[in-house]
Amino acid sequence: MKVTGIKELFKKHGALLSGHFLLSSGLHSDTYFQSALILQHPHEAERLAETLAEKVMREVPDVDVVVSPAIGGIVIGQEVAAQLGTRAIFAERADGKLVLRRGFHIEKGEKCLIVEDVITTGLSTKEVKEVVETSGGKTAAVCCLVDRSGGSIEFGVPKFSLLEIEAVNYKPEECPMCKEGGTPVKPGSRTKQQNGKQEQKQEQKQEQKQEQKQEQKQEQGESK
């Protein structure tokens, strides 16, 4: 059964929140999307995948393999592949770089469909595309549940999504919600695999900050 009212469905499962959020990237946003909260229901994952796969098939009918970035893209990638009758593989991070492991491979010339849960900056999608192409495959199309860029990011291949939202991200110092006196909330922490490099950088920054704080404390003679 296909899905209508995607936005309402996401909201119903608490996967799409409106408010004032602190993203893992350090940016503030008025929108937060946590796909795991809807994909934890297999029947919903299946319906979403069916709707997405049908969109893809109409324009790109001959996909050989679905490739997703771990972890966020795995569940929806598997479900979309089930609809298309193809293999589903995923790229995961090793030493900060997305790679195929576990014996996964792409045959030369295989047409690959990149499946993501959420596209925000498009960085991980571009990385998966690189993995596909360096493996000898061809990127046939990109698809995702939610395109947070409002459809503005291009990958040079057809792109499909179930929902385009223009989520606005702000640097903390420029955030209008903060200027109005609000405090951002950090929803259930996102896995670092979803945002890849950005979040790793953020983690490094946080670690550096913590180290700095510890150093300061030591300098100030505060001990615990």
Binding stretches for Zn ion (CB under 5 A): 28, 175, 177-178, 184
Write down the least CB distance from residue 28 to Zn ion, Å.
3
* Of 23, 8, 34, the residue nearest 177 (C-alpha): 23
| Residue with the CB atom nearest Zn ion in the bound state | 175
Q: Distance between alpha carbon 113 and the CA centroid of its chain, in Å?
A: 15
Write down the least CB distance from residue 170 to Zn ion, Å.
6
Q: Distance between alpha carbon 82 and the CA centroid of its chain, in Å?
A: 20
Q: Give the C-alpha separation, 23 to 17, whole Å.
A: 12
Residue with smaller CB distance to Zn ion, 18 or 134: 18
Write down the least CB distance from residue 18 to Zn ion, Å.
14
Write down the least CB distance from residue 31 to Zn ion, Å.
13
Contact 129, 158 (CB under 8 A): no
Residue with smaller CB distance to Zn ion, 136 or 176: 176
Write down the least CB distance from residue 175 to Zn ion, Å.
3
Residue with smaller CB distance to Zn ion, 28 or 159: 28
**What are residue 78's DSSP bridge partners?**
none
Q: Give the C-alpha separation, 45 to 61, whole Å.
A: 21
Residue with smaller CB distance to Zn ion, 26 or 158: 26
Q: Distance between alpha carbon 28 and the CA centroid of its chain, in Å?
A: 17
Residue type for 74, please? I
Residue with smaller CB distance to Zn ion, 181 or 221: 181
**What are residue 22's DSSP bridge partners?**
28
